[in-house]
């Protein structure tokens, strides 16, 4: 089961996803990137049904690029989140997309924001959230340890605590994670030392 | 050795929140209540957004304003709560453009009922409560089921 977690801090938002791809009992891949860069200021972590995740997140990415070309301006995070929710809820009673997502973005006027969406189209703006079994552990920790306006270093440290917890307590161990951040300078991947995430 | 296979039983032994035999209306959880008084109405909802037994958020409001004197509370599947609210906003705004006045609670309730029955064989999974004040301040309440 895929782990997807995100949190919001002081002028930035973090999103992390594990890197395993599994078919039944076999781990097919250990270095999959489940977080897609939608545009210069948004990241979409998307987990769930394998084909749906890739297809849907790329569909969103390309439509947002088209909007930018046609209208000469990028979508805000709020607009992107509602666009995504609209597409999911439209497809729900036709050809459902089994995608659970965490969208994080940074806007100049609003700052960082996180939108948590499930595959049924239930969406909510939150300070932190996640999907999958890993989110059970993550959200418990974040309920206790998250506070508003944490610095980037504090946020990364908190995420590392979450990774350690998942690797210690989740039944299927040895998960490695991709951690990406979005802030006023755009989107980038944070390099985590290999040894930091294993139990 | 007997190994439990069902994850529902494993993680929620009492299974009071959701099981495959329980309604999709209970997937996200939630409740709305409205009451009428002396030339006034009150409507309130809980704030929980859940996914079966897990709580995802505690600030998910389920009561939305339609006009200054008309409110709607939507329970059930969160996705449909959001979708139906968006639809109602759209229809109410169109109504205002066409009729050049605000919609009355009775008319709104009828519109909502029609909206829901339109999906009779593939329904919106939401059971709304309407609360508002009529022209003369007369309280109006109505509750609807998912069809």
Q: Quick: pLDDT tens for B92-146.
A: 999 999 999 999 999 999 999 999 999 999 999 999 999 999 989 999 999 999 9
Q: B12: pLDDT confidence band, cut at 50, 70 and 90?
A: very low
Over residues A163-179, the mean pLDDT reads: 93
- Cβ of B82 within 8 Å of Cβ of A116? The answer is no
Locate A168 and state its tokens: 């210690």
Beta bridge partners of A35: A45
Per-residue pLDDT at A127: 97
- Which residues of chain B does A136 touch, with a Cβ-Cβ cutoff of 8 Å? 54
H/E run at residue B9: helix B7-11
Over residues B53-75, the mean pLDDT reads: 95
> Are A111 and A142 within 8 A, CB to CB?
no
Q: A53: pLDDT confidence band, cut at 50, 70 and 90?
A: very high
Alpha-carbon distance values, A81 to A116, B18, B35, B73 (Å) = 9, 28, 34, 23
H/E run at residue A68: helix A50-71
Mean pLDDT of chain A: 93
A92 touches chain B (CB under 8 A): yes
Residue of chain A whose Cα is closest to the Cα of B122: A93
Strand order from edge to edge, sheet including A99-107: A35-39, A42-48, A99-107, A111-117, A123-126
Per-residue pLDDT at A173: 85
Q: A80: pLDDT confidence band, cut at 50, 70 and 90?
A: very high
Q: What per-residue string of b and e applies to A43-56 under the rule 16 or more CB within 10 Å gives b?
A: bbbbbbeeebbeeb
Q: A24: pLDDT confidence band, cut at 50, 70 and 90?
A: confident
CB nearest to A120's CB, from B59, B60, B77: B77
Over residues A149-166, the mean pLDDT reads: 96
A79 touches chain B (CB under 8 A): no
H/E run at residue B145: none
Interface of A with B in 106-125 (CB under 8 A): 116, 118, 120-124
CB nearest to B57's CB, from A93, A126, A136: A126
- Cβ of B49 within 8 Å of Cβ of A121? The answer is no
Q: B23: pLDDT confidence band, cut at 50, 70 and 90?
A: confident
Q: Which of A23, A17, A24 minimizes the C-alpha distance to A2?
A: A17
Q: What SS3 class is residue A17?
A: strand
Q: What is the distance, to the nearest Å, from the Cα of residue A198 to the centroid of all Cα atoms in its chain?
A: 20
Distance from CA of A192 to the nearest CA of B (A): 28
- Whether the pLDDT of residue B63 is over 90: the answer is yes
Over residues A171-177, the mean pLDDT reads: 90
- When scoring B26, B61, B82, B120 by the number of chain A Cβ atoms within 10 A, the one with the most, hence best to mutate, is B82
Per-residue pLDDT at B22: 72
- Which residues of chain B does A118 touch, with a Cβ-Cβ cutoff of 8 Å? 51, 78-79
Handedness of CA A188, A189, A192, A197 (dihedral sign): positive
Per-residue pLDDT at A1: 61
If one counts every other C-beta atom within 10 angstroms of the C-beta of residue A140, the result is 13
Predicted TM-score (pTM) of this structure: 0.88
- Which residues of chain A does B78 touch, with a Cβ-Cβ cutoff of 8 Å? 118, 120-124
> Are B78 and B96 within 8 A, CB to CB?
no
Q: B4: pLDDT confidence band, cut at 50, 70 and 90?
A: very low
Per-residue pLDDT at B19: 61
Over residues A47-65, the mean pLDDT reads: 94
Over residues B61-82, the mean pLDDT reads: 96
Q: How far apart are CA B5 and CA A195, in angstroms?
A: 34
Q: B21: pLDDT confidence band, cut at 50, 70 and 90?
A: low
Per-residue pLDDT at A56: 96
CB nearest to A124's CB, from B57, B77, B122: B57
Higher pLDDT, A100 or B14: A100
Residue of chain A whose Cα is closest to the Cα of B60: A124
- Cβ of B79 within 8 Å of Cβ of A121? The answer is yes
- Whether the pLDDT of residue B20 is over 90: the answer is no
- Whether the pLDDT of residue A58 is over 90: the answer is yes
In chain A, % of residues over pLDDT 90: 89
Q: B2: pLDDT confidence band, cut at 50, 70 and 90?
A: very low
- Which residues of chain B does A93 touch, with a Cβ-Cβ cutoff of 8 Å? 122
Beta bridge partners of A116: A102, A124
- Which residues of chain A does B27 touch, with a Cβ-Cβ cutoff of 8 Å? 120
DSSP for residue A45? E
Per-residue pLDDT at A178: 95
Per-residue pLDDT at A192: 82
Q: How far apart are CA A106 and CA A108, in angstroms?
A: 7
- Structure confidence by residue, pLDDT tens digits, A93-111: 999 999 999 999 999 999 9
Higher pLDDT, A191 or A123: A123
- Whether the pLDDT of residue B16 is over 60: the answer is no
């Amino acid at each position: 089961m895929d782990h997807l977690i995100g949190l919001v801090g002081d002028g930035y938002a973090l999103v992390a996803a594990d890197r395993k791809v599994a078919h039944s009992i076999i781990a097919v891949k250990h270095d999959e990137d489940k977080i897609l860069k939608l545009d210069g200021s948004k990241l979409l972590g998307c987990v769930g049904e394998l084909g749906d995740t890739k297809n849907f997140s790329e569909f969103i990415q390309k439509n947002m690029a088209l909007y930018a070309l046609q209208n000469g301006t990028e979508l805000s995070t709020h607009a992107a989140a509602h666009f995504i929710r609209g597409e999911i809820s439209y497809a729900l009673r036709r050809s459902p997309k089994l995608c659970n997502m965490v969208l994080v973005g940074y806007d100049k006027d609003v700052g960082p924001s996180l939108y948590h969406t499930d595959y049924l189209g239930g969406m909510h703006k939150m300070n932190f959230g996640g999907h999958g079994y890993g989110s059970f552990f993550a959200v418990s920790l974040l309920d206790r340890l998250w506070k508003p306006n944490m610095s980037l270093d504090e946020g990364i440290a908190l995420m590392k605590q979450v990774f350690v917890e998942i690797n210690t307590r989740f039944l299927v161990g040895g998960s490695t994670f991709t951690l990406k951040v979005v802030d006023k300078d755009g989107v980038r991947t944070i390099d985590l030392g290999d040894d930091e995430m294993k139990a | 050795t007997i190994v439990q296979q069902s994850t529902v039983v494993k993680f929620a032994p009492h299974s009071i929140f959701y099981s495959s035999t329980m309604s999709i209306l209970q997937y996200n959880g939630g409740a709305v209540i409205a009451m009428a008084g002396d030339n006034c109405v009150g409507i309130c909802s809980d704030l929980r957004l859940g996914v079966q037994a897990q709580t995802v958020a505690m600030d998910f409001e389920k009561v939305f304003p339609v006009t200054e004197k008309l409110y709607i509370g939507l329970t059930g599947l969160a996705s449909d709560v959001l979708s139906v609210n968006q639809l109602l906003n759209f229809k109410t705004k169109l109504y205002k453009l066409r009729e050049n006045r605000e919609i009355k609670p009775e008319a709104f309730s009828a519109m909502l009922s029609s909206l829901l029955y339109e999906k009779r064989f593939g329904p919106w999974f939401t059971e709304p409560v309407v609360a508002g004040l009529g022209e003369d301040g007369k309280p109006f309440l109505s509750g609807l089921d998912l069809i």
